[in-house]
């Protein structure tokens, strides 16, 4: 409610009142002892209306501008914290990995070779050495032990150039994914990363009924509910879940 009261000498009560949406009342009370003519009264009445309207506009314009101004919340840079990436487990060589074997000062022994399905590799002077189940550093030390028979103080480096990983270290995505496949595990792999790898969901996927089957240490499997629709289509990052080696992400088909 807006209320204004204006006094002009012989006009003891010249009042503008606005109640509600269209209820505007003008009250003009003149003393019987006043000497003003009816023309003076009309002139004063019109002048007071104009002044009251100008005052009303002056009050409402700043309020309208304030209401139209967008509100933003600014967070100081020093209050923004980032979670540091944690180091993942050492990479374990698996079948299908491609290895670069480098022997220092012996270029004839340096080669690039894939790991066979049986988990072994064969390189010059080293025949059928087990590679799967070992880290690159462990394989390099084992190869140095074999090469000592032929090379004085050998120094070997093993570099994994194509990653597949052992079966137990892979993350598999099955069901209503665009490209179901096994993904080589890497440190800090999340459900969002896995869905990017497989190209997202199909139009028949029931994303919010997806389940991660995670092998447990005691031999049993644990099931973790995942809301893929909320994550991928609604942008709800709280639905993102960290994945572990050996996880199986199962995406069921929608009922309708």
DSSP of 160-197, one letter per residue? EEE----GGGEEEEEESBSS-EEEE--TT-BHHHHHHH
- CA distance linking residue 255 with residue 204, whole number of Å: 9
Same domain, 208 and 185: yes
C-alpha to C-alpha distance for 244 and 226, rounded to whole angstroms: 14
User: Does any domain span residue 207?
Assistant: yes
Vertex 221 angle, CA 220 and 222, to 5°: 125
Full-model pTM:
0.57
235 φ/ψ sector (left φ>0, alpha ψ -120 to 50, else beta): left
Look at residues 162, 177, 194 and tell me which one is the last residue of a structural domain: 162
Higher pLDDT, 33 or 214: 214
Burial track 26-64 (b if 16+ CB lie within 10 A, e otherwise): eeeeeeeeeeeeeeebeebeeebeeebeeeeeeeeeeee
Of 5 and 90, the one with more pLDDT: 90
Q: What is the pLDDT of residue 57?
A: 63
| Interior/surface letters 161-187, b for 16+ CB within 10 angstroms, e for the rest | eebbbbeebbbbbebbbeeeeebbbee
Could you tell me if 171 and 206 lie in one domain? yes
Question: In terms of domains, do 153 and 188 share one?
Answer: no
Mean pLDDT of 57-71: 59
Rounded-to-integer distance, Cα 181 and Cα 173, Å:
6
- Can you give the CATH number for the domain in which 224 is found? 3.10.560.10
Same domain, residue pair 158 and 103? yes
The span from the CA of 243 to the CA of 192, in Å, is: 10
Q: Strand pairing partners for 30?
A: none
The residue from 48, 68, 88 where one domain ends is: 68
More confident residue, 11 or 177: 177
Domain coverage including residue 195: 167-251
Read off the pLDDT of each residue in 10-17 and give the average, rounded to a whole number: 43
CATH label of the domain that carries residue 153: 3.30.1950.10
Cβ atoms of 131 and 140 within 8 Å: the answer is no
Residue 60 domain-assigned? yes
Residue 92: inside a domain? no
Whether 45 and 103 share a structural domain: no
pLDDT(121) > 90 = yes
181 shares a domain with 148: no
Q: Per-residue pLDDT tens for 207-248?
A: 999 999 998 878 889 999 999 999 999 999 999 999 999 999
Share of the chain above pLDDT 70, in %: 65
Q: What is the DSSP string of 95-108?
A: TT-EEEEEETT-GG
Question: Residues 17-43: what's their mean pLDDT?
Answer: 45
Identify whether 83 is part of a domain.
no
Question: Are both 196 and 144 inside the same structural domain?
Answer: no
Q: Contact 199/248 with Cβ under 8 angstroms? A: no
Judge whether 81 lies within some domain.
no
* pLDDT at residue number 219: 80
Mean pLDDT of the chain: 78
Chosen domain end from 133, 162, 191: 162
Which residues of the chain form beta strands (DSSP E)? 2-8, 11-19, 23-29, 98-103, 111-114, 120-123, 126-130, 156-162, 170-175, 181-184, 210-215, 221-226, 248-251
Q: What is the pLDDT of residue 209?
A: 96
The three-class DSSP label of residue 115 is coil
Lowest mean per-residue pLDDT among 23-37, 60-74, 193-207: 23-37
Do 200 and 245 reside in the same domain of the chain? yes
Residue 33's pLDDT is what?
A: 45
How many independent structural domains does the chain possess?
Answer: 3
List, in sequence order, every residue forming a beta bridge with 173; answer none if it has no partner.
181, 249
Q: Are strands 170-175 and 248-251 parallel, antiparallel or unpaired?
A: parallel
Cβ atoms of residues 159 and 99 within 8 Å: yes
247 shares its domain with 174: yes
């Amino acid at each position: 409610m807006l209320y204004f009261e204006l006094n002009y000498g012989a006009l003891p009560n010249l009042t503008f009142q606005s109640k509600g949406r269209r209820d505007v009342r003008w009250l003009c009370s003149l003393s019987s002892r006043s000497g003003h003519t009816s023309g003076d009264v009309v002139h004063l009445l019109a002048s007071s209306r104009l002044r009251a309207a100008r005052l009303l506009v002056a009050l409402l314009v700043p309020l309208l501008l304030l209401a139209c101004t967008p509100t933003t919340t600014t967070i100081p840079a020093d209050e923004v914290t980032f979670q540091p990436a944690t180091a993942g487990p050492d990479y374990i060589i698996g079948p299908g990995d491609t290895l670069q074997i480098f022997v220092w000062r012996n270029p004839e022994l340096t080669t690039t070779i894939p790991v066979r399905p049986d988990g072994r590799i064969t390189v010059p002077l080293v025949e059928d050495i087990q590679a799967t189940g070992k880290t690159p550093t462990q394989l390099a030390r084992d190869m140095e032990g074999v090469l000592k028979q032929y090379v004085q103080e050998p120094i070997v480096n093993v570099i994994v150039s194509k990653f597949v990983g052992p079966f137990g270290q892979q993350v598999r995505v099955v069901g209503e994914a665009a490209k179901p496949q096994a993904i080589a595990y890497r440190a800090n792999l999340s459900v969002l990363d896995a869905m990017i790898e497989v190209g997202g969901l199909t139009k028949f996927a029931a994303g919010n009924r997806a389940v991660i089957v995670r092998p447990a240490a005691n031999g049993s499997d644990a099931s973790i509910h995942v809301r893929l629709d909320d994550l991928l289509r609604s942008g709800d990052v709280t639905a993102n879940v960290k994945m572990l080696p050996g996880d199986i992400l199962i995406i069921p088909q929608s009922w309708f």
